[in-house]
């Protein structure tokens, strides 16, 4: 008996009991469908978090002064003055994995223009910052190296600042606003980026040369941070190692002593953020997986009933020459057909449900090809696994007893 | 050397039930030649079912030899016996044992499914041929549940013929049928006998013996009678003499 015949026989048996077959399949359909839909939801939310983080900057690496000790007293990070302009200069001279690098100092305060004012933050940076944080100038232009060297009182403002300080739709370019007591001439307006994933307005800022902010606002010589951008995402780790080495050397830190700075990458942040959604995905997939298991048990149950019900048929088949393995395969193939057909319908249903969720609820949903393949494989294995015992039972029946079974 | 289909020598079969051993067959010997129509009779408990299972290669004897068409069944494995049944024996059961919701043709094809040497086309052709032979040419595509008992038993006989067996083994083949249909089926068996087929008919009904060429009677696991029937009664004549069923 070849496999074509076995499949025919199994299909015949299923078509004799269509409704029961469908009900059995339903367990698998719901299991597979929910696995795919749940993974799609989990994956979608993870992707959207990653997207939002990557909007913050490109392969961004942030260096901040770390906690250090002076005479045994641990200092708070913000009061540390260990990052210097020399560190920045060494980095841009010696590094090979960094495509952009900017010093960073910032100050919060009130921006004022005429009768309008708004609380905001002024960031002291250089032109590279635009690339690192993915900002672009929509009107006017960015300040130049000359402005940085001269500590010029120029600035580029975000859209929120424009909205708050120029509510009547005046052209902000060329106007002079004040930040605290210091006047800044607006030479450019940033393209709006909107809110980030943490609900922060990314347009509520003023960018000015770092020298200007250091000297004229904060009156400091150290840096509050250095921002850098790795050439590619894969090189981030190497870049971090390199930066660590450069800074340790610059700061004369002996091997074994702890760093007096902190380096964090965007990837770290992103994986930190997505770990929550990973957990959710695993939980959802587990629940869906359990329903797949229950579906499998349903198959096993029905196959047992089917074997008992068809004991005489099995006895007859055996007495006219079917071997044990013929019977085994017949029932196994039947179980696999149920589970594979259920799997196919389940995949379609899961993908459809994912699309419906995306369309109706507007959730970020992404169906991964691997989840389709995985759940399909799982349900086939489920069919074989749960079909095996009933099929084995059928193949071990004694034809003499089976044929006279009432 | 005569052409024996069945050769049975001192066949014994014991069953262990709990602590007791039941001797179902206590040394049975006989031979059946090609072309014989043998009825094996006995009351319940006589061991005829056990003998049927042994002759049908469904069971193996505790001791003794059984040769089917020259093959020793005694030492065959389960799978070898399955193949032997498939090629050498055609079973006809009391309760027909057709597959439900399946056409006559598909039912008859079934034994050939388990014979990989037969192609699908050949299987189809032979099944049709067998159905024509049992007089069901117009019922080929009817489902088993759309047929009367007599028709179902004819399908079962066609199924037994389709693999061209050396022996048809019938187990109370008329037990579930009314008198008229019983004679119809017996007529069919006699027709097959006249065509030269070997038939072994196991029954508890003494009437049937008149229509066979030889009668073996079993009692308490032993053969008590083994007589050839020189005056075979024609089932066709009995059938014709029966009052015609007018459907009321």
B113 CB neighbours in chain A (<8 A) are 1, 5, 9
Residue A217, token pair as written in the block: 């606002």
Residue A250 sits at the vertex; the CA angle it makes with A246 and A256, to the nearest 5 degrees, is 80
**Per-residue pLDDT at B214:** 94
Q: How many contacts (CB atoms, under 8 Å) link A and B?
A: 58
- SS3 label, residue A259: coil
Residue B102, token pair as written in the block: 């399946």
Q: Same domain for A165 and A196?
A: yes
**Per-residue pLDDT at A235:** 84
**Per-residue pLDDT at A70:** 58
**Per-residue pLDDT at B3:** 79
**What single string gives the DSSP state of each residue in A337-389?**
HHHHHHHHHHHHHHHHHHHHHHHHT-------HHHHHHHHHHHHHHHHHHHHH
Which of A259, A283, A300 delimits the end of a domain?
A259
**Per-residue pLDDT at A68:** 59
- Residue range B188-242, pLDDT digits in tens: 999 999 999 999 999 999 889 999 999 999 999 999 999 999 888 898 888 888 8
Query: Which among B58, B100, B113 is the nearest to A5, CB-wise?
Result: B113
**Per-residue pLDDT at A114:** 87
Res. B84: pLDDT tops 90: yes
Domain membership of residue A186 (yes or no) is yes
Q: Same domain for A300 and A332?
A: yes
Res. B248: pLDDT tops 60: no
Name the residue in chain A with its Cα closest to that of B103.
A12
Q: Residue A228 forms beta bridges with which residues?
A: A61, A101
Res. B15: pLDDT tops 80: yes
Q: Residue A332 forms beta bridges with which residues?
A: none
Domain membership of residue A351 (yes or no) is yes
**Per-residue pLDDT at A43:** 84
Domain membership of residue A63 (yes or no) is no
Determine the average pLDDT of the residues in B6-11. 93
**Per-residue pLDDT at A81:** 79
- Prediction ipTM score: 0.91
Nearest chain B CA: its distance from A325 CA (Å): 9
**Per-residue pLDDT at B159:** 95
Q: Same domain for A255 and A316?
A: no
Q: Residue B7 forms beta bridges with which residues?
A: B31, B67
**Per-residue pLDDT at B148:** 92
Q: Residue B41 forms beta bridges with which residues?
A: B203, B217
Which of A226, A259, A292 delimits the end of a domain?
A259
Could you tell me the domains of chain B?
34-61+79-241 (3.40.50.300)
**Per-residue pLDDT at A71:** 60
Cβ-in-10-Å burial (0-12, 13-18, 19+) of A94 comes to middle
**Per-residue pLDDT at A180:** 85
Domain membership of residue A74 (yes or no) is no
**Per-residue pLDDT at A67:** 65
Res. B66: pLDDT tops 90: yes
Separation of alpha carbons B130 and B123, rounded Å? 11
**What single string gives the DSSP state of each residue in A61-79?**
EEEEE---EETTEEPPGGG
Residue A254, token pair as written in the block: 């002996």
Separation of alpha carbons B18 and A221, rounded Å? 101
Q: Same domain for A85 and A174?
A: yes
Separation of alpha carbons A85 and A59, rounded Å? 22
Domain membership of residue A350 (yes or no) is yes
B83 CB neighbours in chain A (<8 A) are 321, 323
Residue A328, token pair as written in the block: 């085994």
Domain membership of residue A180 (yes or no) is yes
| Location of structure tokens 């038939």 | B199
Q: Same domain for A119 and A153?
A: yes
Beta strand segments in chain B, E: 4-17, 20-33, 37-41, 63-68, 71-72, 89-92, 167-171, 199-203, 214-219, 222-228
The DSSP 8-state label assigned to residue B138 in this structure reads G
From first to last of its 406 residues, chain A has per-residue pLDDT tens of 567 778 888 888 888 888 988 988 998 898 889 888 888 888 888 888 777 777 777 788 888 887 655 566 666 656 677 888 888 988 888 888 888 999 999 999 999 998 899 999 999 999 999 888 888 899 889 999 999 999 999 999 999 999 999 998 889 999 999 998 899 999 999 998 887 766 788 889 999 999 999 999 988 888 999 999 988 878 888 888 888 888 888 888 888 888 888 888 877 777 777 787 788 888 888 888 888 888 888 888 888 998 998 899 999 999 999 999 999 999 999 998 988 999 999 999 999 999 998 898 888 888 888 888 888 888 888 888 889 999 999 999 999 889 888 7
Q: Same domain for A250 and A298?
A: no
Q: Same domain for A279 and A255?
A: no
Q: Total structural domains in chain A? A: 2
Q: Same domain for A314 and A246?
A: no
Q: Which residues of B lie inside 8 Å of A (Cβ-Cβ)? A: 53, 56, 58-59, 78-79, 82-83, 85-87, 91, 93, 97, 99-102, 106, 110-111, 113-116, 159, 163
Q: Same domain for A175 and A205?
A: yes
Cβ of residue A321 closer than 8 Å to a chain B Cβ: yes
* Mutation target vs A (from B85, B94, B114; most A CBs, 10 A cutoff): B114
Residue B35, token pair as written in the block: 């072309």
**Per-residue pLDDT at A169:** 84
Separation of alpha carbons A57 and B215, rounded Å? 100
Phi, then psi, of A88 in degrees rounded to 5: -60, -45
Q: Same domain for A160 and A16?
A: no
Which of A259, A292, A307 delimits the end of a domain?
A259
Nearest-10 crossing angle of helices B78-88, A324-360:
100
Domain membership of residue A59 (yes or no) is no
Cβ of residue A11 closer than 8 Å to a chain B Cβ: no
Instruction: For residue A400, give the nearest of B13, B123, B113 by alpha carbon.
Output: B13
Res. B247: pLDDT tops 60: no
**Per-residue pLDDT at A73:** 66
Q: Same domain for A101 and A232?
A: yes
Residue A107 belongs to what domain range?
Answer: 81-259
A316 CB neighbours in chain B (<8 A) are 93, 97, 99
Domain membership of residue A73 (yes or no) is no
- Mean pLDDT for chain B overall: 91
Q: Residue B22 forms beta bridges with which residues?
A: B15
Residue B231, token pair as written in the block: 């005056």
Separation of alpha carbons A68 and A255, rounded Å? 15
Q: Same domain for A110 and A244?
A: yes
Cβ of residue A7 closer than 8 Å to a chain B Cβ: no
Determine the average pLDDT of the residues in B16-33. 92
């Amino acid at each position: 008996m070849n496999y074509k015949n076995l499949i025919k026989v199994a299909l015949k048996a299923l078509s004799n009991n269509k409704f029961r077959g469908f009900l059995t399949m339903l367990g698998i359909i719901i299991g597979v469908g929910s696995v795919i839909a749940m993974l799609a939801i989990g994956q979608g939310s993870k992707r959207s978090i990653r997207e939002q983080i990557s909007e913050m900057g490109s392969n961004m690496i942030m260096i901040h002064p770390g906690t250090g000790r002076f005479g045994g007293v641990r200092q708070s990070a913000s009061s540390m003055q260990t990052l210097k302009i020399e560190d920045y200069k060494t980095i841009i001279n010696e590094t090979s994995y960094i495509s952009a690098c900017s010093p960073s100092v910032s100050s919060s305060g009130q921006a004022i223009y005429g009768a309008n004012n708004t609380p905001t933050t002024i960031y002291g940076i250089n032109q590279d910052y635009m690339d690192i944080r993915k900002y672009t100038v929509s009107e006017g232009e960015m300040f130049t190296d000359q402005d940085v060297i001269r500590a010029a009182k120029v600035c580029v403002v975000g859209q929120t600042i424009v909205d708050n300080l120029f509510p009547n739709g005046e052209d902000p370019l060329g106007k002079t606003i004040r930040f605290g007591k210091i006047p800044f001439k607006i030479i450019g307006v940033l393209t709006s980026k909107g809110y980030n994933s943490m609900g922060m307005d990314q347009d509520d800022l003023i960018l000015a040369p770092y020298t200007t902010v250091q000297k004229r606002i904060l009156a400091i010589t150290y840096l509050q941070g250095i921002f850098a951008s790795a050439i590619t995402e894969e090189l981030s780790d190497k870049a971090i190692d390199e930066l660590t080495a450069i800074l340790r050397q610059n700061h004369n830190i002996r091997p074994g002593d702890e760093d007096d700075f902190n380096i964090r990458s965007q990837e770290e942040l992103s994986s930190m953020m997505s770990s929550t959604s990973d957990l959710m995905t695993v939980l959802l997939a587990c629940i869906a997986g359990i329903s797949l298991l229950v579906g499998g048990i349903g198959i096993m149950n029905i196959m047992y009933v089917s074997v008992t019900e068809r004991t005489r048929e099995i006895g007859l088949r055996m007495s006219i020459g079917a071997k044990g393995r013929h019977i085994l395969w017949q029932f196994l193939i039947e179980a696999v057909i149920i589970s594979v057909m259920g799997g196919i319908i389940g995949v379609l249903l899961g993908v459809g449900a994912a699309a419906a969720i995306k369309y109706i609820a507007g959730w970020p949903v992404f169906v991964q090809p691997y989840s389709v393949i995985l759940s399909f494989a799982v349900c086939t294995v489920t069919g074989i696994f749960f079909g095996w015992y009933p099929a084995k039972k059928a193949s071990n029946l004694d034809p003499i007893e089976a044929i006279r079974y009432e | 050397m005569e052409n024996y289909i069945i050769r049975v020598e001192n066949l014994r079969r014991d069953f262990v039930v709990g602590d007791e051993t039941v001797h179902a067959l206590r040394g049975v010997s006989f031979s059946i030649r090609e072309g014989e129509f043998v009825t094996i009779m006995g009351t319940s408990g006589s061991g005829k079912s056990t003998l049927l299972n042994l002759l049908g290669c469904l069971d193996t004897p505790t001791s003794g030899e059984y040769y089917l068409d020259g093959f020793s069944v005694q030492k065959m494995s389960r799978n070898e016996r399955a193949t032997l049944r498939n090629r050498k024996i055609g079973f006809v059961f009391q309760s027909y044992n057709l597959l439900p919701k399946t056409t006559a043709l598909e039912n008859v094809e079934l034994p050939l499914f388990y014979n990989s040497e037969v192609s699908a086309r050949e299987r189809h052709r032979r099944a049709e041929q067998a159905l024509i032979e049992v007089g069901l040419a117009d019922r080929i595509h009817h489902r088993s549940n759309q047929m009367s008992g007599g028709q179902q038993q004819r399908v079962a006989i066609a199924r037994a013929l389709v693999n061209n067996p050396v022996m048809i083994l019938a187990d109370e083949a008329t037990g579930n049928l009314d008198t008229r249909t019983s004679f119809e089926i017996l007529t069919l068996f006699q027709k097959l006998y006249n065509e030269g087929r070997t038939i072994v008919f196991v029954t508890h009904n003494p009437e049937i013996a008149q229509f066979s060429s030889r009668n073996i009677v079993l009692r308490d696991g032993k053969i008590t009678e083994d007589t050839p029937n020189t005056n075979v009664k024609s089932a066709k004549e009995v059938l014709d003499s029966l009052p015609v069923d007018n459907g009321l």
